[in-house]
Structure 1
Amino acid sequence: MPEMPLDILFEIFAFLHPRDLLNLARATREFRALLMSRQSARFWREARQQVEGLPDLPSYLSEPEYANLLFFPHCHNCLKPNVHNVLWTFSARYCDGCQVTMFMDQKDVSTLLVEVFDHASFLYVNSKYNSGRFSGLRYHKPEIDEIKRKWATLRDDEEKRRFREERKTFITECQQFSREASEWQTGCKIQRSQEGHKLKVERFEAVKQKLREEGFGEVLDHLRLADLFRLKKLGSVNRPSKLTDKGWKSIRSSVIQHMVPLREKYCQELKQQATQARIRYLRKTLDARQSNGVPRTAESDREPGFFELAMMPAFQTLLRDESTDVRDEAIAAQLDLPGLIETWTNYYKSVFVELTLLGLGESSTTLDLVNLLDLAIVHFRCTRCKRRQLRWPHVLSHRCFRDTSASLMRYVSVDPSFVGYTRFNHDAPYRGEELARFDDHLEVARDIIRLAGLAPDSATYADMQAVGTRFLCRGCPISTKKTAYDWQAAIQHSTIIHSTDGVDPGPVWEPLPSNQAAVVQDFEWRLLARNSQLSELEKNPLNVFGCAQCPWHGDILSMKAHLHFAHPLWAENHSWSEGLYLHEDSKPCGMPTVWMYPSEAPRPDDVWEGFTLRGNTDRGKTEVGFNINQTASTYLYGLLG
């Protein structure tokens, strides 16, 4: 290249950067001699003009010195590389170590500065403030040495005055250049940062395009901002350089390795979203089924709630479906809600059949399994509240078997996905299989059924209700008052008053004559009609009511509040009595109690339509007596409320 014609070299020099010119001058002696000559000044000037925003060359620097200061990051004392801190005021770069040796403390030069510049040295000498451990002004040693040398050569006051003026002009130019150079350097840093950012963005977009070609497009489209940020900050991705095919090959494995867990996470999220959509659809379907205009009744409480339906195998299969089609139409095509309810009911019917067979023991071998739960001898008890004589299908609605309270949830393995949709106790897991037991009054029930003239192994609940036999207890102490029981009340009386832990108690019951039983039944129905009126039911604070608009239960006061706040639109157009029903747990076991008094018993004073009122009894109830006929030897009294 040095042997090339000068005109060609000069053409080349016109397009070079100042850094390139200085590197070329340092390459060979020939280039050094050429580029350091005065006739090459225009090449340096033209090179400088190609650098946007570069301050003009200060008068105290040559072109090569200026290029060296601007574009070569090495220490000007020890030549240590990567020194980016430029001291523009002193036109020098120093590493941390050389900054200590190349500057002098004020105390070391104060005598000289006072002698030369009096007390106005700041006008004539560059300095920098040291904010470190040893704070104070520090002075550039080469500059102090030059001042000392020059001052020693001055002969008279005029020369000294001119020297001071020259120094003042020099300091002004240095400070002006320092400001301009600092601004240019800051602008260069901003520009480099912007260019680097642009290259990083372009590289990131190129990496994403490569990942799309690798099959990660859908994952990228649904990445969370945090995951996208982590991908962007990968060391192999976050570089200010364009991505080439060769470069992609070198980083592909690390980027793919980073994306595989994100794809697995995305697939899992898709499954969870599909699961949640199907769970929401089940909840929405149950709500829609409730809001179809048909009010709930006590029979509605026998149906499975949300949790039970969600845990059924058919719905669990739907949840495990790999399809991500979560449109209502697609879910509805796979979800048969009436079928799920029927399947659930049949399952628990088989559970209670098994429980019955276990309780009956060997005697169950001759029974009709199809109608087993309809038999009058089949009752169940709750191990939680100790209630007896629960029958099928009442056991499906017993409130102890469904409860969302924390005290019960710890006994149940609950899927966290379902908890938020379990709004009512009715929606909670059904625990009848765990808490129900076969009632141990079997022999008592058999005796009472025989007294009614039916076979215990074949008599059904409906048969016993139809036969109409009423019973008197011979096991109770003799008194003027005898109580007439229907068959269910008789069983309850035996298990509570004459309990023998399941052992045959012997003959304690006798049937009431049919003519008296008929009158008792008529009186029972009169009492039942009165006791079933809402005005009577709401007097008992223990009665539980159900909401006809949703699966909510509570006492009469909380039910009124619930209807007002939970169903305000409905409550505006309906009486609150239309919005509730008596829960099966609050319905009496058997017919109302009727007492029989001998004819010589004192007659009550007030008679109204054949009923005799006798104030409040010791049980806080009202006795209502009815004279069978004017010549009969017996009065009947019923317990109201």
Structure 2
Amino acid sequence: MAKTDRQDLRRSKRAKHAQSTAPTGKPSKGPARERKQAQNAEKGAILKYIREMPLDVLLEIFSHLEPADLIHLSRTTKALRSIMMVRSSRSIWTQALASIPDLPPCPDDLIEAQYANLMFTDYCHECLTNADDDPNLLLLMFMEARTQLCHKCAPCKFKTARAFSGSFQEVKSVVPMTKESFETYSYSEWNPKKYHVDVANELMAEYDKLTPVERGGWLLEQTAKQKAISKHAEACEIFFQARLEQDEQMIASIRLKRQDQVIERLKELGKLSLASPIVVVIKLFLRIQRRSSLSRKWEEVEPEMLEWVEQQKAKHHFKQRVACVESRIREWLIPIYAEFMASRPHQGQAVHPTLLEISFLEEFRAALEDTPLGQSPSAEVTEAAIAKLPELVDRWQQTHDDALLELVKQSHSSKNSEISRETLFHATTSFECESCHEKGLLYPNVLAHRCNFLLLSKSGTAGFVAAPTKYKQKKRKRDEESENKEEVPGAYIKQVFSKVNPLSTDHLRFSEAGYLHTIQVLDLLGLAHDTSSKDLRSKAPPLECHCFCYDVINSSSKAPVRVIHWPKLVSFRPLSLSRCCPQAGDANFRTVVAGGKKNILPGKVTPTFICPACTKTEWNRYSLRHFRNQ
């Protein structure tokens, strides 16, 4: 199709349809249409004035413009384009390029207008998408190929060597090449070489037309051209880096000047004092603002700025109060609590309430938070708080003992036994942590387990949320109650202990396997089942353990043998206990513990395995099937 035919076809596609005069019920667009017509008339008058201007005057005006301005102006109308894109107007582009300091000279393979379009525009040369219109667009400049492409069009114009055939291997060394990743975010450190398709096809076509004698000289000529282009591309890259640094310095100076002006306005309004620490925060806030905010007037930003200053004042006051409460806890509460615990008689209790729980006692909370800044709690307040400590400690101990006893009562082993506080000290009473899977936790040390004081989302993998990556930051949810957090009692104390929670036993459970292990150990030693953990630890000899659930099950059907002590016996980590012998009930037990004896059937050479839950005798080679399938 001829060029004139394509132009006529485009005009026909853009031709407007005849509008109907029938009423549609929609609001009238008369005023908006009139304003648009007025604007178009004004632009038309300006363009008419430019067309009537003498050519020498017009060229003199154009000679004082920068290359980017000339490009935008040449795309305004066809008349201006016909003036600026002719050979006689080459001096305009030459002067515009010369006005840019440190700009590399125009290369021989480009004219000045093409060079300006390559260096001073931000759009894709293939799909014509502008970077200002699409913030997610990644523009890549390939100076050696004399083109600029977006990350969507670049893969179509640059291919790896496998995509070419014919004489590509002979001309590959003179084809523009890149190792750039065409992705917005690249996760790979290695990228293959990619070659420009259009230049490669053009060079291969020229190479195929030459005779074998001419090809050597032609390759030397193309190699020299490629070296000159590469050298010019390096100079352009240095120019872009220097220009970027200049732009950043200019923006930084404008922001510094603007922040000084804003601070002076706030001081005039009485919102800031000369020694206010909020000034530092405001400077940081203005420094990280977007570039578009530099041109905003004070009248536009005044309400937002005043509201933000009040919020920063409240945050600063809150931080001051938190620092004061933390200092009082360190200098006033800790010595009082340490002296009190040293004066109490030793009752075999190894764990005491934490400072967080002591601080939330009303007498201590009022002394820590309500005392004015710069003052210490009075002697009367201190005595009243100390008088409440014995009651708090006893109530705390009783509460957590009851929680542990409730776990014991829910177990399978306590159905036919009497449960009391002394049960916690028995050797058969051990606990497991569902968060970190630690086992063999005995009383009272179980109360000091580290997971007791952590959030559920911080212990183990419960509530796990993936951390924000480098390319996609995690959005923080706004706390609606954050503005009124100072009015909530205990807010300052909670902030001091932000990484610690009150003791909680919600993630603990009674260890059924540890109970059955310990029962067998007590029977082997001839001890009563109510023996304390302290006595058993001192009397327990080394034991030979044939253990299937506490050791890795390999291809062999024979259980591994270990010589261990009782505390280690209840702290091993088992495999999944969901496929144990079903007759064991809730015990989930499939372990044999013996004092060095092996049960051998009469007349048989192979030793057998006896299930402690169902007392069924099986051959060793069938023991795994017994535990998994029955």
Q: TM-score, normalised by structure 1?
A: 0.40
Larger Rg: 1
